[in-house]
Structure 1
Amino acid sequence: MTTTPPPPPPLLSAQGLHVVFPGRHGAPGARAVDGVELDIRPGEIVALVGESGCGKTTLARSLLGLVKPSGGRITFAGQPLEYTSRALKAYRGRVQLVLQDPTGSLNPRHTVYDAVAEGLRIHGRTGNERAAVAEALAHAGLRPPERFFLRYPHQLSGGQRQRVVIAGALVLEPELIVADEPVASLDSSVRGEILALLLRLRAELGLAALVVTHDLGLAWNIADRVAVMYLGRIVETGDVEQVLTAPRHPYTQALLSVLPEAPGEPVVLTGEPPDPSRIPAGCRFHARCQILASGAADRAGVADACRGEDPQVLPGTGAHQAACHWARAGITA
């Protein structure tokens, strides 16, 4: 009898993570990240999806050690993240950030060579700097790399600039990258090339990635697993095919309904997300929920729970799950 081997332990794990930004003049603090559980395994690509302002960038910054959590903890390779300068410097050599705006990420006065070599110099890496820079540029798809050494950012296309930013992350040989909207500023013709590059880097280098995006179509093309975030909390998680073909949370359903290829009419969410300093009782999505608004939740007998009971925090990994009373009752619309 063949048994399935257990999955490898997480490379990066957030456990009960909270980030609260203090309010002004005694006002309540904004709960930007509110009890998040999230695991990323070696070689895995996880897409963190949600509207602007849902907390996904704050979560990403806390996972990078750029924002210290108000509660909970982060572990990397089984070890708790420490917040001393020395520990954070070592950690950021293993976990690298790729920003969405390559023009803003690159110093216009630095050549490509200096831009990529900067990380080596900051971290005091010894060895053959020229060879390391060339290897990183080659991995990022800029070949032959020596042809790009003396170029400046303004002499490159948008896609080439993004590849230089990726090379700057790769030169430190990280185990995980956090890519914040990595193709948002690129032309559609270039987006596919950069996504294919990220997949190739995973295959060649075993690189894990957290890709932060508002685009569920991007998640479909690149991710192994999806975490959908709303008002500081992950409300649905699972394998990409499960979440995007059979979404359980009304918020995920609404996000998917506006994609060009989606069947039926798009779901128009009413109002704006609540203020994170005044998160409502019950399900934090209930004031905008199309199922509650339609009366279907009342007919199914879960409306009171939607309005009064906060769904439990989802675990960081595992089966397809949604923090939704409707979904947990096993009801289909």
Structure 2
Amino acid sequence: MTTTEPVPSVPPAPAAPLLSAENLRVAFPARRGDTARARAVDGVDLDIRPGEIVALVGESGCGKTTLARSLLGLVRPTAGRVTFGGRPLDYSSRALKAYRKRVQLVLQDPSGSLNPRHTVYDAVAEGLRIHAYAGDEREAVSTALSRAGLRPPERFFLRYPHELSGGQRQRVVIAGALVLEPELIVADEPVASLDASVRGEILALLLRLRAELGLSALVVTHDLGLAWNIADRVAVMYLGRIVETGAVEDVLSAPRHPYTQALLSVLPDAPGAPVVLTGEPPDPSRIPSGCRFHARCQILASGEAERAGVADACREEDLPILNGSGASQAACHWAETRAPQGPRGTGRKPGPR
């Protein structure tokens, strides 16, 4: 009797990206009396795949909101390109209108996002009217409100923003994005203005929408605790570049870039003393040579980079742009000299703050 050797299983190829940035750059005009342009986004590669939640993390002023706006077509890149569904983004008015039906923005402050003179019904129906929706408007609004957790939806139709709690207002904003049945949402600090008691509810809602609708999301945040609780992948941004990226468990359990380590050190339950970064991020119109983080880097300041033989490289040699794939990567001369470390921390996921 002959036996058949088992055929090794081949893991399925990852899905093609839904949205991609390729060597994206956004520079703003110089200030009066200055010739250097501010490089807010200075070479970014980033992919978001169908059904994936990616967290874009960094300090205020690092360029993450400008990157998000360029992915939405609200800011036209100086160089590089954005692709959606494999096609480069078309910046004509008609094409952008069609694109924004498929990619929706959820802003940080629901109070500022909602017109105080519009009822909940009108706020959610606004997108349908802009896009000349031909179906049953009332049914579409009801479905969107229900998906956002406002049930029964009819109870909210005639209410105004000031009559709602902060969490309810954010759900109305999310319903306004969902009503057009987008494939991807860009959520800019979606829970930053909410009380701690309702942040977890909104994060749970975003996860449920991903599970039920296959919705992809880019979540822009300064909070690594939030990223850990919601994201599949995380991209850490500093001074216009992504400096570390990978699966959320890899990056946040065993961070390799000193900047990521510093951001994690201030979370609740983080081991050891917080890393206090000295000074502010450099001016984006005067990005330093070498690693753009080196002037604030605790590894360089402590002498560890010198002992590893990379201190001069840190100060003088630029690093390549990370390729934005699912692989864990860190743009750091010191990290390149070290094998990936085992998990760090308490073993618990930090909760959203």
> How high is the TM-score relative to the length of structure 2?
0.93
* Unpaired stretches in structure 2, ≥5 consecutive residues: 1-7, 342-353
1:217 — aligned with what? 225
CA distance in 2: counterparts of 1:78 and 1:297, whole angstroms: 41
Q: Map 1:61-100 onto structure 2 (within 5 A).
A: 61-100=69-108
**Aligned-pair CA distance for 1:332:** 7.6
1:287 — aligned with what? 295
1:13 — aligned with what? 20
- CA gap of 1:7–1:332, structure 2 versus 1, over 3 A, is closer
| RMSD of aligned residue pairs (Cα, Å) | 0.9
1:138 — aligned with what? 146
2:4 — aligned with what? none
CA distance in 1: counterparts of 2:35 and 2:133, whole angstroms: 46
CA distance in 1: counterparts of 2:334 and 2:289, whole angstroms: 16
Q: 2:10 aligns with which of 3, 14, 31?
A: 3
- Contact 2:21–2:71 (CA<8 Å) still a contact in 1? yes
CA distance in 1: counterparts of 2:162 and 2:338, whole angstroms: 55
- CA gap of 1:332–1:80, structure 2 versus 1, over 3 A, is closer
**Aligned-pair CA distance for 1:57:** 0.2
Q: Secondary structure at the match of 2:133?
A: coil
Q: Secondary structure at the match of 1:160?
A: helix
Q: 1:22 aligns with which of 16, 29, 35?
A: 29
2:5 — aligned with what? none
Matched, 1:255 2:225: no
Matched, 1:313 2:313: no
2:185 — aligned with what? 177
Q: Secondary structure at the match of 1:116?
A: helix
CA distance in 2: counterparts of 1:274 and 1:328, whole angstroms: 24
- Contact 2:233–2:326 (CA<8 Å) still a contact in 1? no
Q: 2:200 aligns with which of 168, 173, 192?
A: 192
Question: Deviation per CA, 1:223-276, whole angstroms, max 9, x where unpaired?
Answer: 000000000000000000000000000000000000011000000001110000
Question: Deviation per CA, 1:37-89, whole angstroms, max 9, x where unpaired?
Answer: 00000000000000000000000000000000000000000111010000000
2:157 — aligned with what? 149
CA distance in 2: counterparts of 1:307 and 1:241, whole angstroms: 30
The residue type paired with residue 330 of structure 1 is R
CA distance in 2: counterparts of 1:22 and 1:48, whole angstroms: 25
Question: Deviation per CA, 1:116-136, whole angstroms, max 9, x where unpaired?
Answer: 000000111111000000000
CA distance in 1: counterparts of 2:260 and 2:141, whole angstroms: 41
CA distance in 2: counterparts of 1:144 and 1:260, whole angstroms: 37
CA distance in 2: counterparts of 1:149 and 1:127, whole angstroms: 18
Question: Deviation per CA, 1:170-201, whole angstroms, max 9, x where unpaired?
Answer: 00000000000000000000000000000000
> How high is the TM-score relative to the length of structure 1?
0.99
The residue type paired with residue 18 of structure 2 is L
CA distance in 1: counterparts of 2:293 and 2:199, whole angstroms: 32
Percent of paired sites with the same residue: 82
The residue type paired with residue 219 of structure 1 is A
Q: Secondary structure at the match of 2:288?
A: coil
CA distance in 1: counterparts of 2:60 and 2:133, whole angstroms: 37
Q: Secondary structure at the match of 1:35?
A: strand
2:345 — aligned with what? none
The residue type paired with residue 9 of structure 2 is T
**Aligned-pair CA distance for 1:331:** 5.8
Q: Secondary structure at the match of 1:24?
A: coil
**Aligned-pair CA distance for 1:24:** 2.5
**Aligned-pair CA distance for 1:329:** 1.5
CA distance in 1: counterparts of 2:313 and 2:340, whole angstroms: 17
Q: Secondary structure at the match of 2:115?
A: coil
CA distance in 1: counterparts of 2:153 and 2:258, whole angstroms: 47
Identify the range of structure 1 (21-30 vs 287-296) with the bigger mean alpha-carbon deviation.
Answer: 21-30
Q: 1:239 aligns with which of 223, 232, 247?
A: 247
**Aligned-pair CA distance for 1:318:** 2.5
2:278 — aligned with what? 270
The residue type paired with residue 3 of structure 1 is V
CA distance in 2: counterparts of 1:257 and 1:313, whole angstroms: 25
CA distance in 2: counterparts of 1:89 and 1:136, whole angstroms: 20
The residue type paired with residue 95 of structure 2 is A
The residue type paired with residue 135 of structure 2 is G
Query: How many pairs are equivalent?
Result: 333
Matched, 1:59 2:67: yes
The residue type paired with residue 305 of structure 1 is A
- Contact 2:254–2:340 (CA<8 Å) still a contact in 1? no
Structure (1 or 2) with the larger CA radius of gyration: 2
